[in-house]
Structure 1
Amino acid sequence: MTVRTTAPTAATRLLDAFEGVIGIPLPVRVRCWDGSEAGADADLTVVFRNRRAIRRVLWSPNELGFVRAYVSGDLEIDGDIFRLLTLPQLVDRLGKLSLRSPDRRIVLRSLATFLRLAGPGLPPRPPSVEVSRRRGAKHTKARDASSVSHHYDVGNDFYRLFLGPTMVYSCGYWDRQPKSSGDSGTLDDAQIDKLDLICRKLGLGPGMRLLDIGCGWGSMALHAAEKYDVSVVGITLSREQCQWARARVEEAGLTDRIEIRVQDYRDVADGPYDAISSIGMSEHVGASALPGYAAKLFGLLKPEGRLLNHAIASVVAREGGNGNGLIDNYIFPDGEVLPLSRTVDAFERAGLEVRDTEALREHYALTLRAWVDRLRDSWDDAVRLVGGERARTWLLYLAASALGFEEKDRLTIHQVLAVRPSDDGSSGLPRTRSLWLG
């Protein structure tokens, strides 16, 4: 524990308590509501603006308590958010406090300090942007539409701050010589290269018909129509995305070749299509609905038609989320990140033939860090557009996600290419990967 040479203040007592339960010195500075400060003279200061910040952590001594304190503004981070999120064992140890610990006396002493500093009070109300607990079956059409709206209908101008002119909200493909993560041109190039990679994997060409499931702001549809001369139907459950995408299509003069709909994938009935792209959408499908999703896509494809499914995957199963953290309560309600094996199994059981899968884990880490840089550079505009709570939510989410993809045993992302074989078993694919990639 850190040696103190002055009378204990709120900050020194608080830092001592945290170090007691963590078991190691923390390389941070702590500032409290009374102006007191303690800790290493580091470039990272954790600011407890009021006693309520401590009560939030006490009532939810895990990831959710920290998230609520930060999102609400009761706790501030003065410095690099990545440094706080990578402090060894911090959130993990706080979430596993137990009176059965070998250091039980230290834990009890620290807990008593927290209680005294927190003061009396009921559990603080969650921040207004937290998703209320919902009842009923998951992944109904109405509930999925509500979940998608929560995440995407927060303002197109807000998303543009960190997505940039491409308006692509998925992992880029960093095929060119990397520059700094904050170089907007490099990020934009990575997104364009990703769209082009998908088009080439799908074998798109003039006269073909593409279905883009979860079309977002229309970027894939526009790229495919402009560069590969295909007709595209793009579907989304977000009305704000649809409005923006339709305006882009009209501005590009491509209304005769691109149709953007507000539509659930389960309601698409105008197949067959030569190709289907699903980019960053199947995370919303869920384990229980995955077999139906795979069967629906199979039915919408022509024989020898290709499917490209671009989706985050977990290294271990995380079905249904843990219901107790940032992603479940603030970002993707009802989202489920499944192992790659579950997706491949569902596709094969539906009759699709999986021909290729490509992992892009490091690519997503680069993309997320570039988004963080852009959001921080546009912070005042972000707060003006969506308010402080939501802006802090997105910054925390993007930063934590970047770290999740940088660690090899947490998250990854795959592009899975599958085909619907013809009745005679033909896939329609050239024999080698180099040939079908073009």
Structure 2
Amino acid sequence: MTTFKDAPTRHGSGAAKLTIAEILGIVVGRNLPVYFTAYDGSELGSPDAEYHLHLKTPRGTTYLMTAPGDLGMARAYISGDLVVTGSHPGNPYEVLRVLGEQLHFHRPSARELAHITRSLGWEVLRPIAPPPQESLPRWRRLAEGLRHSKTRDAEAIHHHYDVSNAFYEKVLGPSMTYTCAAYESEDQSLEAAQENKYRLVFDKLRLKEGDRLLDIGCGWGGMVRYAARRGVKVIGATLSAEQAEWAQKAIADEGLSGLAEVRHSDYRDVHETGFDAVSSIGLTEHIGVANYPAYFEFIKSKLRDGGLMLNHCITRPDNTRSTRAGGFIDRYVFPDGELTGSGRIISEIQDIGLEVRHEENLRESYALTLAGWCRNLEDSWDECVAEVGEGTAKVWGLYMAGSQLGFERNVVQLHQVLAVKLDAAGRANVPLRPWWNG
């Protein structure tokens, strides 16, 4: 078997072809933290390494070479052309952690790139169709409408959320809650932490029996049902038809139909006003940063004077980076998704005239939430694969494990921002100090 350590350095125009392992060695160096083997018989790293990556086919090389970075790696992995052993596909957290901490990329020189190109040949470097789980690139989504139009937003939500309710039941657990939980301790159960999150939102909004709540982007209706059980009249809105159907059945099963309703609709099509509170839990990521002024103005228009709003969403750790998601997230997880820092969100809320009263970062809680979802996927892997197919299940394992690392390393955060609509005299009419148990 050809090994990288045995191969001579060859760069001239007449040099022999590089093996796949030699090419990888040029890009990442000799100290690979995993054992890599390829279909051409070459290898790199120690066979004693805990994790083994095997590149099975030239198609996998094409994916890696035509989309460098996380998108190419994802394509090769999801298609089955890049096989990882030593790690469960439903929870590849540990292998991603090792690669993230110990893998260091080197930009090849022009001479090295020319040698790599000659070694692989143009046939391998010609782009091919991606795996079927992948969304269209941004420029091709124009057929679905302008970015963040109602039509295009509906298609983006359909891509991510209308996978399978049975699949989500396995991954999310009984709460069917696909947003960050609020952990009181690291050993708290996922279900208890999700219940605590709903309690926290409910208390921050000062909701009580007889109040009216609008829950925008309500998902499977977790917040809707939590509030309705406590006598609050709730309207929830979601662009996912499968979520709305599941939520309406759950509402009926709990005998809450007189208080709660989940509509399959764009939040912009909710015409009722005068709500005591508006909750937005995990929607802001989908609406586009340029649309924040209109979004928060809409929320303000739905509130009575003295009404409270709570915005709960993923954020960046600063306000200076690009708002667009990376290639893998945009094409496989959240098409058209955008993130910014909590400072930008707070500024936009203030600029439309709502008064911000409190904000907090639940970053560590989201890492724990994702770890719980990964465990659920791993524990129910066979059922999940039977429901949605192995490729889609692998997308979710990769996405959730990678996101867990992102929250742990402060690549992303989760902020709750609480604001109030002042009355004509500028009064907030809320207690002087925080009134909830954090």
Partner of 1:376: 378
Q: In 1, are the aligned partners of 2:66 and 2:125 still within 8 Å (CA)?
A: no
2:27 counterpart of 1:27: no
Instruction: Tell me which residue corresponds to 1:221.
Output: 224
Q: 3-state SS of the aligned residue for 1:210?
A: strand
In structure 2, give the amino acid aligned to 1:93.
F
The CA deviation string for residues 117-163 of structure 1, in whole angstroms up to 9 with x for no partner, is x9647322111111123115211111111111111001111111110
Question: 2:127 & 2:182 partners in 1: Cα distance?
Answer: 44
Q: Paired residue for 1:138? A: 147
The 5 A counterparts of 1:114-133 are: 115=120, 120=124, 122-132=126-136, 133=140
The reply on whether 1:82 has 2:86 as its aligned counterpart is no
Taking a change above 3 Å as real, the CA distance of residues 371 and 232 of structure 1, as seen in their structure-2 partners, is same
2:105 counterpart letter in structure 1: R
Indicate the percent of aligned positions where both proteins have the same amino acid.
Answer: 40
State the Cα distance separating 1:357 from its structure 2 match.
0.1
Please say if 1:432 is aligned against 2:429.
Answer: no
Q: 1:121 to 1:308 in 2, by over 3 A?
A: closer
> Residue by residue, what CA displacement relative to the aligned partner does 1:4-56 show, whole Å, maximum 9, x if unpaired?
4699xxxx943333222223511211233367655311121112121211111
- Contact 1:214–1:279 (CA under 8 A) maintained in structure 2: yes
Q: Is 1:178 equivalent to 2:186 in the alignment? A: yes
**Do the aligned partners of 1:287 and 1:319 also contact (CA within 8 Å) in 2?**
no
1:168 maps onto 2:174 in alignment: no
Root-mean-square deviation (CA, aligned residues, Å) is 2.5
Of 56, 68, 80 in structure 1, the residue corresponding to residue 63 of structure 2 is 56
Determine if contact 1:309/1:417 at 8 Å carries over to the other structure. Answer: yes
Confirm or deny that 1:234 pairs with 2:236: yes
Once the two structures are superposed, residues 406-425 of structure 1 have per-residue CA deviations (whole angstroms, 9 ceiling, x without a partner) of 112x2111000000011122
- Which residue of structure 2 aligns with residue 413 of structure 1? 414
Equivalent position of 1:188 in the other structure: 191
In the TM superposition, residue 203 of structure 1 has moved relative to its aligned partner by 0.6
Counterparts of 2:413 and 2:367, CA distance in 1:
10
Aligned equivalents of 1:5, 1:36: Cα separation in 2: 10
Unaligned runs of 5+ in 1: 180-184
Q: Distance in 2 between matches of 1:379 and 1:119?
A: 36
Asked if the contact 1:20–1:110 (Cα under 8 Å) also holds between the matched residues in 2, the reply is no
Q: Is 1:159 matched with 2:171?
A: no
What's the CA shift for 1:289?
1.1
Contact 2:32 2:103 in 1 (8 A): no
Distance of 2:436 and 2:379 partners within structure 1: 40
Structure 1 position 381, deviation (Å): 1.4
1:423 maps to what in 2?
Answer: 424
Q: Cα distance, 1:328 vs. partner?
A: 0.7
Alignment partner of 1:15 is 2:26:
no
The CA deviation string for residues 417-437 of structure 1, in whole angstroms up to 9 with x for no partner, is: 00001112221210011x355
Q: 2:404 aligns with which of 396, 402, 405?
A: 402
CA contact (8 A) 1:365 1:403 kept: yes
1:198-253 deviation line (CA, Å, top 9, x unaligned): 10101110110011111111111111111x32111111000000000001000000
Q: Distance in 2 between matches of 1:233 and 1:421?
A: 23
Superposed CA deviations along residues 160-218 of structure 1, whole A, max 9, x for unmatched, are: 1110000010111111x322xxxxx7011111111101101011101100111111111
One-letter amino acid of the counterpart of residue 155, structure 1: S
| TM-score using structure 2 length | 0.89
Matched residue type, 2:432: R
Q: Which moved more, 1:15-24 or 1:356-365?
A: 15-24
CA distance in 1 between counterparts of 2:234 and 2:141 reads 35
Q: Which runs of 5+ in 2 are unaligned?
A: 9-17
In the alignment, residue 376 of structure 1 is paired with which amino acid? E
Does the residue aligned with 1:289 lie in a helix, a strand or coil?
Answer: helix
Secondary structure at the residue paired with 2:290? coil
What is the TM-score normalised by the length of structure 1? 0.89
Question: Which amino acid counterpart does residue 228 of structure 2 have in structure 1?
Answer: A
1:168 and 1:366 mapped to 2: Cα distance? 14
Q: Does 1:202 align with 2:185?
A: no
Kept in 2, the 8 Å contact 1:430–1:436? The answer is no
Contact 1:371–1:398 (CA<8 Å) still a contact in 2?
yes
